[in-house]
Structure 1
Amino acid sequence: MADRSFSDLSLAALYDTLNPWGPAEDFYLDLVLSARSVLDVGCGTGQLLGRARETGHEGRLCGLDPAAAMLVQARRRADVEWVLGDLTTTRWEREFDLVVMTGHAFQVLLTDGELRLALAAARRALGEDGRFVFETRNPAVRAWESWTPERAREATDAHGEVVRVRHDVETPVAGDRVTFTETFEHPRWDRPRMSRSTLRFLGPAALDGFLTEAGFAVHERFGDWRRGPFTPTAPEIITVARPRESSPRPGPGDQ
């Protein structure tokens, strides 16, 4: 089930305002433009695939998201394929050259079972020369410690009004899961709107274990959106994975 920040129509309409285009989107756009067929898992409002089409991509672009409110925004474009669901509810067989999970969407896979199912589905969706690219925040940097009410974000919407969002992390943080509340404030609302979320922070060793089990090999890894090397203090773990040549294809009945 999608968090309220994605499933609420009014919050979905503000998503691009609060999350404007930046270096991460530039990084992924380059990848999308170099692939003939692309599946964007957790596509949200469709900003990435829409920009790719505007930039001249002529191949297949498919966005997948479990939040209908986000797809209301995405479906304003009719030249991209939009699918409601997630990797556990859909099935593609060798249909894409590139599968991406942007915006730290990979971190919403909270259990080992969810993670294995999603990776198996991504593996099935890719052709043999395909790439699976995603990012997760480096747990060693402990980014959640800066998610405090004092560091609220503000952005101006299309009507010139200021939207404000603040974060409150539930403490103590135990294990690799961090739960927090986002509070959204808008001048047109009679009260703030709140959304509670949980993200999983996995380190590179754990990520590599799951990828290997799913039939992937890490092809490249970066620590920032400028393609700098991954180091223990890098803010991001940006992974480019490819199907392993020797890995067997899951059969029709495999889960």
Structure 2
Amino acid sequence: MLSDADAAALYDTFNPWDPEANPGDRFCHERVMAADSVLDVGCGTGAMLHRARADGHRGRLVGLDPDTAALDRARRRADITWIEARAAGAAAAGGDFALATMTGHAFQFLVDDDELRASLAAVRDVPRDGGRFVFETRHPQARAWEDWNPSHASDALDGAGRPVRVWHEVDSVRDGVVAFHGTTAAADGSVLRVEHTRLRFLETGQLDTFLAEAGLTVEARYGDWHHGPLRDTSREIVTVARR
């Protein structure tokens, strides 16, 4: 079997934070480096803030996530503050941040209306006046979940150097919520871990209603990581909001 710690390490293998190679990482990295204080909500293993500190960020960096195993990896850097909490508990980080972020489609884990409202209310109070909240969510019209099947499996080596294969399968699509499970298997096909996840795909109008209810104003909206306009064919809804 694959432990939580192994799974967190494997996540970094499949999702390296690389602003030079990945336009989405570069989009966020540039904003993080320009802000004197940053709260990363849903920071996971902390890769974004690790890179910011390594690249010379001297200000206040705080990462918040409910996943204990992921935070254990994040805490390899002690010059960043790490808090175990969900987005709705963002007040634990304090306030007066220039920038709050949710990267890696973490926003889509806010599935229920009540959790989404509580999370946005908490995140709204984190930036200082004029501060920004930057996040992205997959455009539902792109139907990204149709590629989540065994034919799109990915291969890598785990922390011990053993080959593993990871794939995803959709269980249901209902009312904008996609339920799916991910399987990690060894080279001989034996299953090491199965994880079940639900993600919410919000239409732009729905998203903006929730933001407005929370007192957040959309300052900029993009359909890709190159600042392109949002279109029906866009795969991403990238939002820059402010208090």
Superposed pair shares fold, TM > 0.5: yes
| 1:84 and 2:65 matched | no
- Deviation, structure 1 residue 86: 1.5
1:206-230 Cα offsets, whole Å, 9 max, x none, are 1110111111111111111122111
Structure 1 runs not aligned, ≥5 long: 244-255
1:182-215 Cα offsets, whole Å, 9 max, x none, are 0012359964210000000001111110111111
- Deviation, structure 1 residue 90: 4.1
- Deviation, structure 1 residue 26: 1.4
**Partner in structure 1 of residue 45 of structure 2:** 45
Q: How many residues align?
A: 237
Distance, in Å, in 1 between the alignment partners of 2:190 and 2:170 is 25
**Partner in structure 1 of residue 102 of structure 2:** 101
Secondary structure of 1:167's counterpart equals: strand
| 1:30 and 2:30 matched | yes
| 1:110 and 2:106 matched | no
Query: Does structure 2 conserve the Cα–Cα contact (< 8 Å) formed by 1:94 and 1:128?
Result: no
State which drifts further: 192-201 or 153-162: 153-162
**Partner in structure 1 of residue 170 of structure 2:** 169
The CA RMSD measured in Å over matched residues stands at: 1.9
1:94-150 Cα offsets, whole Å, 9 max, x none, are 321100000100001011111111111111111011000000000011110111111
| 1:20 and 2:20 matched | no
Look up the equivalent residue of 2:163 and give its one-letter code. Answer: V
Query: Does structure 2 conserve the Cα–Cα contact (< 8 Å) formed by 1:41 and 1:100?
Result: yes
- Deviation, structure 1 residue 156: 3.6
Look up the equivalent residue of 2:175 and give its one-letter code. Answer: G
Query: Does structure 2 conserve the Cα–Cα contact (< 8 Å) formed by 1:223 and 1:238?
Result: yes
Secondary structure of 2:199's counterpart equals: strand
- Deviation, structure 1 residue 84: 0.6
Distance, in Å, in 2 between the alignment partners of 1:157 and 1:27 is 29
Distance change in 2, residues 1:93/1:8 (3 Å)? closer
- What TM-score results when the alignment is normalised by the length of structure 2? 0.92
Structure 2 runs not aligned, ≥5 long: none
Distance, in Å, in 1 between the alignment partners of 2:66 and 2:169 is 25
- Deviation, structure 1 residue 31: 0.7
**Partner in structure 2 of residue 228 of structure 1:** 228
Distance change in 2, residues 1:39/1:149 (3 Å)? same
Query: Does structure 2 conserve the Cα–Cα contact (< 8 Å) formed by 1:182 and 1:194?
Result: yes
**Partner in structure 1 of residue 210 of structure 2:** 210
**4+ residue stretches of structure 1 with deviation over 4 A?**
157-160, 187-190
